[in-house]
Amino acid sequence: MRPLHDWPLDERRGLIGLFTDIDDTLTTEGAVPPAVVQALGALKAAGLHVIPITGRPVGWSEPFAAAWPVDAIVPENGAMALVPQADGSLDRRYQQDAATRAANHARMQQVLAQIERDIPGARRATDSAGRECDIAIDHSEFVQLSQAQIDTVVQAMRGAGMHATVSSIHVNGWFGAHNKREGASWIVRELWGRDLHAEMDRWAYVGDSTNDQLMFQAFAHSIGVANIARFVPQLSHLPRYVTAGERGAGFIEVARAILAAR
């Protein structure tokens, strides 16, 4: 990982959009500072597309999608999108049809209950009531799990045939082919009818943990906020650049670096 100031000015100047994680990338101590929302707005005002993509659930994401200056929020690791409308409402778009979502939800609740029953210390995330397309076990938000416990939860999800990934606060699991990288490609097609793969050199991604590594691998302009240091031993793919500041302060650094090139 190279320091953010090594990011060439001409590469920043060519950007048309930014994807970003939310928890511990936009948030600081669990909250999104006003200066971060202002940075999102400054990027939008400069003509960039701005899309947070997160493991958080639909229900948790709705108020932010309605209030933030963004094109969409893609929650539940790419499963769906919340797209703000001119009248203030949110357009909910899903990758799976309703019947598939219902069947998967029932199966996931069984897996979730089994994990809580069989793995000591494992507890569902407090935002679980708002989840439609995945399940989440808390490992660092309100419950502290060891790396061994986290690994056991991941193995249980994968043993049930689910995809599983670890964010800075939760272990997420789901049925389906979506993930953050695929979700990013899907929402670019949905909103603008464009092929993200064909314009990857014109988008950037900002993240902080192991569930961001597919994005770090895919995006040439990938940036980790400084607190990614915690997860470096678990990462197969590192971001190209890293900020000096942690969490929201690090994101603001990224926004300033992009805006300085406009």
Average pLDDT over the chain, rounded to whole? Answer: 96
pLDDT in tens, 10-43: 999 999 999 999 999 999 988 999 999 999 999 9
Taking a C-beta distance cutoff of 8 angstroms, is the pair 214, 237 a contact? yes
Q: What does the pLDDT read at residue 34?
A: 97
Q: 141 near 126, Cβ under 8 Å?
A: yes
**In the prediction, which pLDDT does 20 show?**
98
Tokens read off for 111: 């897996």
Structure confidence at residue 182 (pLDDT): 96
Mean pLDDT of 195-222: 95
Pick the CATH number of 2-95+178-259 from 3.40.50.1000, 3.30.70.1450, 3.30.420.130, 1.10.3720.10: 3.40.50.1000
**CATH tag, 98-174:** 3.90.1070.10
What's the pLDDT band for 254 if we cut at 50, 70, 90?
A: very high
**Three-state secondary structure readout of the chain:** CEEHHHCCHHHHHCCCEEEECCCCCCCECCECCHHHHHHHHHHHHCCCEEEEECCCCHHHHHHHHHHCCCCCEECHHHCEEEEECCCCCEEEEECCCHHHHHHHHHHHHHHHHHHHHHCCCCCECCCHHHCCCCEEEECCCCCCCCHHHHHHHHHHHHHCCCEEEECCCEEEEECCCCCHHHHHHHHHHHHHCCCHHHHHHHEEEEECCHHHHHHHHHCCEEEECHHHHHHHHHCCCCCCEECCCCHHHHHHHHHHHHHCCC
The mean per-residue pLDDT over the stretch 92-110 comes to: 97
Q: Give dist(CA 171, CA 40) in Å, integer.
A: 27
What pLDDT does residue 219 have?
96
pLDDT of residue 155: 98
How much is the pLDDT for 5?
96
Q: What's the pLDDT score for residue 140? A: 95
pLDDT score for 143: 95
Residue with tokens 């915690």: 230
Between CA 93 and CA 101 the distance in angstroms is 12
Longest dimension (CA), the chain: 54
Query: pLDDT at position 82, please?
Result: 98
Q: Quote the percentage of the chain above a pLDDT of 70.
A: 100
Percent of the chain past pLDDT 90, that is, above it, reads 96
Split at pLDDT 50, 70, 90, the class of 152 is very high
Give the confidence band of 202 by pLDDT, cuts at 50, 70, 90. very high
User: Domain residues of the chain, as ranges?
Assistant: 2-95+178-259, 98-174
Rounded CA separation 147/88 (Å): 42
